[in-house]
Structure 1
Amino acid sequence: MTPRIVACGLGPAGADLVTRETADLLGSGRPVRLRTTRHPAVAQVAPDAPGHDHHYEAAATFAEVYRRIVDDLVAEAGEHGELVYAVPGSPRVLERTVDLLAERASAGEVELDVRPALSFLDLAWVRLGIDPLEEGVRLVDGHRFATAAAGQRGPLLVAHCHNRRVLSDIKLAVEDPPDEPVLVVQRLGSPDEAVTEVAWADLDRSVEPDHLTSLYVPALAAPVAAEVVAFAELVRTLREQCPWDREQTHVTLTRHALEEAYEVVEAITAWDAALGTDAEVDADEHLAEELGDLLFQVVFHATLGAERGAFDLADVARGIHDKLVRRHPHVFPPEGVEAGGDTDVASLTRTWEEIKRAETGRTSVMDGLPDDLPSLLWAHKVLRKAEAAGQPWTPNTTAAADDLGEQLLALVHAARAADVDPETALRTAAARVRDQVRATEGEPPAP
């Protein structure tokens, strides 16, 4: 006979919200298995039933957790002939293991009997005071927010927000965050249930999530940025499952970051040369590809930081966002100050350096200038910072003719005066020589 699994739900909270049918199944004498023992009703209705919590510790991803649980259930059902499987809430509301069991049932491996139960949704609509049909609420799994909520503007009820990483991913997925507070819904039906208003910026900082935490978002100004979060999730998956990625550290990635940055510069040079020609479209695609490679380095370092609990991609994005706001007071003036003022480039450069020194506590405008930059780029930055400090460098007209360093620095000075990037100018000129050699290679020498 085909083994049989009866799936039932433990409801959203304590034993008072467990249906009579579920209670009867749990007390029927048939073998009982729980997805997790972490549920308020378990101690009263199924105190001796084993759970599958060990898979949450051993597996790398939730998808793997659910597959392992289902494998166990099918094997145990084959051993006993029939068993009762109890899950939190309702077995047909965001319960991936039951979805997978249904697939195994379709393949003929097991017979599945799903019984209805009370879900957290029934309590959520009451506590939030809304009719989900009238409001058009979309239910979303927090672990798949970036893709499941793509193109949505709300309202959204986001379940499975059980840790700060999930909340951080949700924040990152929204390009234009809502102005109004959102509601964090926790432990509905329990004595310590809570519905708390939280500003979007504080979502992953002021809330202490648990396994009974959901998020209600009344409205979004713009659809979810699915691509960014999906990419961040891909990098985490590579870090967990790819042998090469698992071995990397911030230090071992240093060389790759430099290489990718140089390849972006090379792509920009090629793009500039292709403007207005038939090769412009290909150059655009190549530049986008190289920028993606560089973005991978940024997200990889953020992933390593998140592993240590130091910082994540949201912290990186928030940090540069806030820094750029602080350093552009002419665009984002402090409260009570009108925008505008000096907006010429020289004034803005001086203001930038003054704010930077005040933030970092550095005593010299030259502090923080990386000594290992390529010499041409380094010289360009030194001259720019000298000018910002009110000490512009001028060429030494009495320098010896064989002082190549002074002559090169004079050329960098001339490039700055002409508003030309010397690094790009030299690369472009050298590229012309390279292309000329390539074009004439193989040709017979001139008579």
Structure 2
Amino acid sequence: MPSPHTAARIVVVGLGPGSTQHITDEARVAIDRIPHRHLRTSVHPSAHLVPDATAHDDLYETADSFDDVYVEITNRLIEAAREHGEILYAVPGSPLILERTVRYLQERASDDEGIEVDILPAMSFLDVAWARLGIDPVEASVRLVDGHEFATAAAGERGPLLVAHTHANWVLSDIKLAVEGADGADPVVILHALGTDDEQIVHTTWAELDQTIEANHLTSIYIPQLAAPVGQEYVRFHELTRTLREQCPWDIEQTHETLIPFLLEETYEVVDALHALDPDNPATDDDLIEELGDLLFQIEFHATIAEQQGRFTIADVTQGVHDKLVRRHPHVFGPKDGDMANAGDTDTVLSNWDEIKRVEKNRTSVFDGIPRSLPSLAYAQKVGRKASKVGFDWPNVDGAFPKIVEETGELSEAVGQGDNDAATDELGDLLFAVVNVARHLGIDAELALRAASDKFRSRFESVEQLAAQRSIDLRTSNLEILDGLWDEAKLIVSNPPN
């Protein structure tokens, strides 16, 4: 066992791109000298040069994500180094090229955990790739991208790109789908098993990218140029918002406050478009696409104002919501043995969400975080639901119904006394009681009232049509005539003609 005052040491070597002739003498000496050896994976042509090594391939079969694999390998290596004092860790290619475990080890060492990481230089697959492609990566400004992160890491890029970690055909498919504007005839080069006897340099097209060869851990691709950058449409939209803010007189005058009515209006128009969706009619998607775009513009507008003020950018917004969603989905992204790892139903997911949110926000009241700007019915429903979660509620709807009768009586009394302030107060209590009944029945009060309002509107529009057909002036007609038209309209709306 090492002395408690001696740092545990991890010597990292690279096994080169594949052929045994590409491994350095320095790495061979380290392998021979250090008896406690580890391999990230034994699935590499030169892995046999590290005898009696502990491989960590089992994690690739059991972990939920590649990042989980890399974190656990890091933990294992540190534990082994503390046990033995010094260990050797061998990785494919170069330790400094797309080796996340090495990066994690360096981060842990920089946190002064009593760990030293010694990285020996090695030849990577890149050296062979540049030779086979016949290019100087510096002069050509080639960008190296991880295939697992292509959609985000290559955002806004047009090329040239060298994409590694394309170890399976589904990864190639994801890459292909990430570039919506790509021409199927765009050239791409598949680099397979470089520096080995099985080496293949395959010139193909974007359309055939995931259908040309059977990809594995020794596969990468070279993209000379994309017809359209990854994420091009959103980048163009982002730049357009900046341009409008800088050059349009109306846009320049706007503030966060003046934009609030437009934000609300666009939100409601999205809701209308959602209600109008017809699963059997794809054409109804057009309105939703347009309204979502208008709402997205409002979000970009607010972020652009903040960016000009030097406060934050749209990148802060997207990063913030990304990280928040990861934190609040521990059953998806968290450790398997975590307290909230098992969430097999919606109720558990929502309960976990509320608890994580409460801790994050350091909230002292159950009502903290409910926006006061919500529409009144939605606000009342949320307030009632939050109180219910701490036990302040009737056990079922039978307890909520009598409150409607009670509040109706109190409202009638206030109206009878001619007390307008009291009537306003009692009317609010009555509405709140009705919302509580809706909540117990699992009915969204906002949607229920909206549906009732739409029904009334449809019937009254039928009344208007009937009156017009019969030359009846609604404004001068008595209540008996109006009631008769209303009863007819109810039948028409309930039983529309075929």
- Scaled to the shorter chain, the TM-score interval is 0.5 to 0.7
Shift of 1:169: 0.7
Between the aligned partners of 2:73 and 2:233, the Cα distance in structure 1 is 30
Distance 1:128 1:287, change over 3 A: closer
- In structure 1, how many angstroms separate the alpha carbons of the residues matched to 2:221 and 2:68? 25
* Residues 2-401 of structure 1 mapped to structure 2, 5 A cutoff: 2-43=7-48, 45-109=49-113, 110-178=115-183, 179-225=185-231, 263-265=274-276, 284-285=294-295
Secondary structure at the residue paired with 1:145?
helix
Aligned partners of 2:293 and 2:143: how far apart in 1?
Answer: 41
Query: How far apart are residue 175 of structure 1 and its match?
Result: 1.8
Q: What SS does the corresponding residue of 1:125 show, helix, strand or coil?
A: helix
Cα deviation 1:288-310 (Å, max 9, x = unaligned): 99xxxxxxxxxxxxxxxxxxxxx
Offset at 1:165? Answer: 1.1
- Aligned-partner residue type, residue 285 of structure 1: L
Once the two structures are superposed, residues 212-258 of structure 1 have per-residue CA deviations (whole angstroms, 9 ceiling, x without a partner) of: 00000000111113899xxxxxxxxxxxxxxxxxxxxxxxxxxxxxx
Secondary structure in 1 matching 2:295? helix
The alpha carbon displacement at 1:284 in A equals: 4.0
**RMSD (Å), alpha carbons:** 3.5
What is the letter of the counterpart of residue 433 of structure 1?
A: R
Q: Is the 8 A contact 1:181 1:197 kept in 2?
A: yes
**Aligned partners of 1:34 and 1:180: how far apart in 2?**
38
Shift of 1:69: 0.4
> Which of 1 and 2 has higher RCO (CA within 8 Å, sep 6+)?
1
Does the aligned pair in 1 maintain the 2:273–2:291 contact within 8 Å?
no
- In 2: Cα distance, 1:433 partner to 1:266 partner: 20
User: 2:455, 2:292 → 1: CA distance?
Assistant: 18
* Structure 2 CA distance for partners of 1:175 and 1:435, relative to 1, 3 Å: farther
CA distance in 2, matches of 1:65, 1:20: 29
Residue-by-residue CA offset, 1:347-390 (whole Å, 9 max, x unaligned): xxxxxxxxxxxxxxxxxxxxxxxxxxxxxxxxxxxxxxxxxxxx
Partner Cα distance (1:281, 1:264) in 2 = 12
Q: Give ranges in structure 1 of 5+ residues lacking alignment.
A: 229-259, 273-279, 290-426, 438-445
Q: Give deviations 1:106-128, integer Å, cap 9, x for gaps.
A: 11121111110000000000001
> Structure 1 residues 264, 74: closer, same or farther in 2, change over 3 A?
farther
Is contact 1:175–1:223 with CA below 8 Å preserved after alignment? no
The alpha-carbon distance between structure 1 residues 91 and 283, as it changes in their structure 2 partners (threshold 3 A), is closer
Q: Which amino acid aligns with 1:183?
A: V
Q: Sort the Cα spacing of 1:282 and 1:218 in 2 relative to 1 into closer, same or farther, 3 A.
A: closer
1:433 paired with 2:433, answer no
The whole-number CA distance in structure 2 between the counterparts of 1:428 and 1:436 is 12
SS at match of 1:73: helix
Q: Secondary structure at the match of 1:139?
A: strand
The CA distance in 2 between the partners of 1:41 and 1:261, in whole Å, is 61
Aligned mates of 1:105, 1:38 — CA distance in 2: 27
Alpha-carbon distance in 2 for matches of 1:175, 1:283: 18
Shift of residue 200 of structure 1?
0.8
Identity %: 48
Q: Which amino acid aligns with 1:114?
A: I
- Determine the C-alpha separation between the residues in 1 that align with 2:65 and 2:75: 16
- CA deviation vs aligned residue, 1:3-39 (integer Å, no higher than 9, x gap): 1111110100121110000001111143111100111
What code does the residue aligned with 2:79 have? A
Shift of residue 129, structure 1, vs aligned partner = 0.6
Amino acid at match of 1:149: A
Deviations, residues 293-333 of structure 1 (Å, cap 9, x unaligned): xxxxxxxxxxxxxxxxxxxxxxxxxxxxxxxxxxxxxxxxx
**Does the 8 Å contact 2:16/2:123 carry over to 1?**
yes
Q: Deviations over 1:20-76 (max 9, x none)?
A: 000011111431111001111122x11321110000001010010100100100111
Residues 1:66 and 1:261: Cα distance change in structure 2 (over 3 Å): farther
- Residues 160-200 of structure 1, C-alpha deviations (whole Å, 9 max, x = no match): 11001110110011122143321000001101101001111
Kindly tell me the number of residue pairs found equivalent between the two proteins: 262
8 A contact 1:160–1:211 mirrored in 2:
yes
- TM-score (normalizing by structure 1): 0.53
Q: Is the 8 A contact 1:146 1:226 kept in 2?
A: no
CA displacement, residues 129-165 of structure 1 (integer Å, 9 cap, x when unaligned): 1111111100001011111111100000000110011
